[in-house]
Amino acid sequence: MKSSLFEKIRSVVKITLSGDFKRLTEQLTRYARHKLKDQWEFVYFELPLDEAIFSIKMRENVLIRSAVQSDISRIESQIYPFVGSNEKNDKRYISLIGRKGIRCFVAEKDDKLIHYCWAFDRALESPLMNTPFDKTKVLDEDAYLGPAFTNPNVRGTWIFPYSLSKICEYIKNNTDATRVLLFVHKDNPGAVGFYRRLGFREIVNACPSGPVAAVKQKLVRLWK
């Protein structure tokens, strides 16, 4: 699923018309930083599903399930109040709950939602395609995981790895996917090590080293 350029333009126009130029400047600065720096520093991982995948046990009574449309209001009231600035863009995906091939898995404990993680049956129709990831490396049989968020009050209790194990198991048994893809930023070494410990493999040379290298790569391919 590719983000719409029209939506970005509409957001800029809306902020401009509101007269909030400080917010407009901040948004344009974040966008420029993302395009010129941040997105070139992602670390991409793969998890082959034709091999034994990791399994996590939970001592606590936590239910992992696929969200339905009736969960939307619960996600908004029980999870969104804890979402920080780094995850606020996740909110744009909530309208996709119930759409074929896209799932929002939630963790429920004591009748409260405490975690979500998005899964796309086809990586070719996921947010991965908005990154500099080498698109020739994405296969029809690839699924994609992310984004995810866990209530800060329950972090450290293995909710996320338990959720990941259940989601990967679901994808393996209920879709045609043979590999799961995901990415994290290199400035989050804890996450990088976390996925490695679970058996995810880093994809070497997954994308160009920066925007200049990306342009050169495209020119080379055009001349072939």
Residue indicated by tokens 């009050």:
153
**Beta strands in the chain, from DSSP E residues, in sequence order:** 42-48, 63-66, 102-109, 112-120, 142-150, 179-185, 201-202
From first to last of the 224 residues of the chain, give the pLDDT tens digit: 544 445 555 554 565 656 656 666 766 666 666 566 677 889 999 999 998 899 998 878 999 999 999 999 999 999 999 998 778 788 889 999 999 999 999 999 999 999 999 999 999 999 999 999 999 999 999 999 989 999 999 988 899 999 999 999 999 999 999 999 999 988 887 899 999 999 999 999 988 766 666 556 665 566 66
Look at residue 8 and tell me if it is in a domain: no
Domain boundaries, position 73: 37-223
Is the Cα dihedral 98, 101, 102, 108 positive or negative?
A: positive
183 pairs with which residues across the strands?
A: 44
Look at residue 10 and tell me if it is in a domain: no
pTM of the model as a whole: 0.82
Look at residue 72 and tell me if it is in a domain: yes
Question: What CATH number is associated with residue 171?
Answer: 3.40.630.30
Look at residue 22 and tell me if it is in a domain: no
Look at residue 25 and tell me if it is in a domain: no
Exposure string (b/e) for 41-51, b if CB count within 10 Å is 16 or more? ebbbbbbebee
**143, 106 contact by CB (below 8 A):** no
Cα separation of 201 and 115, whole Å? 24
> Which of 2-8's residues contact partners 24+ apart within 8 Å by CB, and which partners?
2/129, 2/130, 3/127, 3/130
Look at residue 30 and tell me if it is in a domain: no
Look at residue 5 and tell me if it is in a domain: no
**Beta strands in 68-155, from DSSP E residues, in sequence order:** 102-109, 112-120, 142-150
Strands 179-185 and 42-48: antiparallel
| Count of domains forming the chain | 1
